[in-house]
Amino acid sequence: MFRVWDLSLMICFTVSIMFVGVEGISELPPPRNLTFKWETPFTLNLTWEKPKDLDPDCKVNYTVDVRHSQECSVTDNKRQTRRVQSTTCSWNISNVNGLCISVTVNPENCGSRKQSPSLNIILPPPTVMLVTNRSYEYSHNKLRCTWSRVGVVEDLVFYYLSPQKNTVIKCNDMKDGECVIHDTRLKEMTDMSYLFIGTYMGKAVNNTFIEEGPAHYVKLKKPQLTIQSDGHSLHFQTNQSDLEFGSHCYKYKYTYTKCDKNAQEQEVMDKPNYEVDYDSNCKYKARVQIIFSDKCGAGRSDPSDEVEYGEDRDPHLPAFLAVIIIPLIVSCCLIVSLVLLRRHKDIIFPKIPEPTLIFKDMLINNIRMPEDARSPTDGRLYVPIEEIVASKISLEPETPLLPTTTNAGITISDE
């Protein structure tokens, strides 16, 4: 019985403390009369009043929150927040998708009071969109802007905001769906504000857009790639003729294949040269693309033309030559040699004349003893066989036979 009573008293005491705490920590009242005004096509001015019934000793500041949507509960990655002391605030902002603006009161020295509920205001988007498919390309102090018209828009004019001059500048170098902005300070701008003014169905309409700075739309020229071999290494080299930012702002993406394989190998380097192991039995095909580093902005070039180096070869070709081709060549050479040897054997191996009688006599040991030898032990001398040589042989010319007569009327005179 006493335990139940004690438990009831404890619960009542806890609940009373909770109510007292809630009453002691109350919210500040929200601001009043939040209004807006477009001072320029890009500048939105907000004003409001202090909360009603605020303690004079309570010091507060204000948080202004802007979402690029008409839904205040939507989480926006481009959500912008600013804390101010005064009851006014100006923004350079675009209303292309509508806006949800919230202002809350924050306590600085208000005891235990906490932040107030937000006061919201919703701004609808423009009734007509004049252009679509916007794109940008930046290179060497030139920003090329392109777009497509939506429907029939008359008298379309394009402007951009110069932060340095804080003025709206009309684009003079303008064609249908394209404008080129020339400004030496473009790459220093963190964002760009654009304004389109035109007439749609007889009604003047303007659209504003705020985009990232030109450094986020860098367009680089298509690079050139050269390949050279050095021993067992292959060097890829990229030209650097179109670089206007620091060298740390560029990366080089190499894509290459080896031995005509389908799988491509990719490497992103911080330097314009790249080295790989070289296989002399493979053909290499490579491209390079320059990428603008996210440290400085965004952008890239078109991939370079494909460059080929080397040829695909069978690594077992030398062994194949040694086993099959070389013996075949040797066999062919041997056959040709035998044919030539048979055909020209009389020249290569001429006939040796028969030995003379002297050599024959020597071979049969025709050795004779001299007649005046004093002893049988004296040296044996070789006596050659006498050769019979015909002598006094003469040849006379053959003459015709003449007829002979005796006393055939021939008279011999002694005179």
Domain that holds residue 167: 131-217
Give the start-end residues of each E strand in 177-220.
178-182, 191-200, 203-212, 218-220
344-366: burial string, b at 16+ Cβ within 10 Å, e else:
eeeeeeeeeeeeeeeeebeeeee
Query: Among 67, 97, 123, where does a domain finish?
Result: 123
3 state DSSP class of 372:
coil
Report the candidate in 337, 351, 248, 353 with the shortest Cα–Cα distance to residue 291.
248
The span from the first CA to the last CA of the chain, in angstroms, equals 218
Query: Could you give the percent of the chain with pLDDT greater than 90?
Result: 32
Check residue 386 and give its pLDDT. Answer: 58
Tell me: do 322 and 353 sit in the same domain: yes
Lowest-confidence segment of 160-174, 183-197, 208-222 by average pLDDT: 160-174
- In-domain check, residue 99: yes
Same domain, 154 and 99: no
Instruction: Confirm whether pTM is higher than 0.85.
Output: no
Is the model's pLDDT at 45 over the cut of 90?
yes
- The verdict on 93 and 138 lying in the same domain is no
Pick from 217, 202, 71, 23: nearest CA to 134: 217
Q: Say if residues 252 and 274 touch (Cβ distance below 8 Å).
A: yes
pLDDT at position 397 is: 60
Q: Is residue 42 part of a domain?
A: yes
- A 10 A CB-CB count for 67 gives 23
Residue 380, in any domain of the structure: no
In a domain, 18, yes or no: no
Q: Are 54 and 70 part of one and the same domain? A: yes
The one-letter amino acid code at 45 reads N
Domain stop point among 197, 217, 237: 217
The answer to the question of residue 398 being in a domain is: no
- What's the total number of domains in the chain? 4
- Let me know whether 84 and 43 are in one domain: yes
Domain assignment of residue 184, yes or no: yes
Q: Which helix (H) or strand (E) holds 331?
A: helix 326-343
What average pLDDT does range 34-58 have in this prediction? 89
pLDDT band at 22 (very low <50, low <70, confident <90, very high): very low
One domain for residues 208 and 184: yes
**Domain end call among 291, 309, 327:** 309
Whether residue 20 is predicted with pLDDT greater than 50 in this model: the reply is no
Statement to judge: residues 203 and 138 lie in one domain: yes
**Domain at 267, CATH number:** 2.60.40.10
Q: Is residue 377 part of a domain?
A: no
**Do 102 and 161 belong together in one domain?**
no
Q: Minimum mean pLDDT among 153-157, 254-258, 266-270, 387-391: which range?
A: 387-391
pLDDT tens for 203-248 read 888 899 989 999 999 999 999 999 998 888 999 999 877 788 988 9
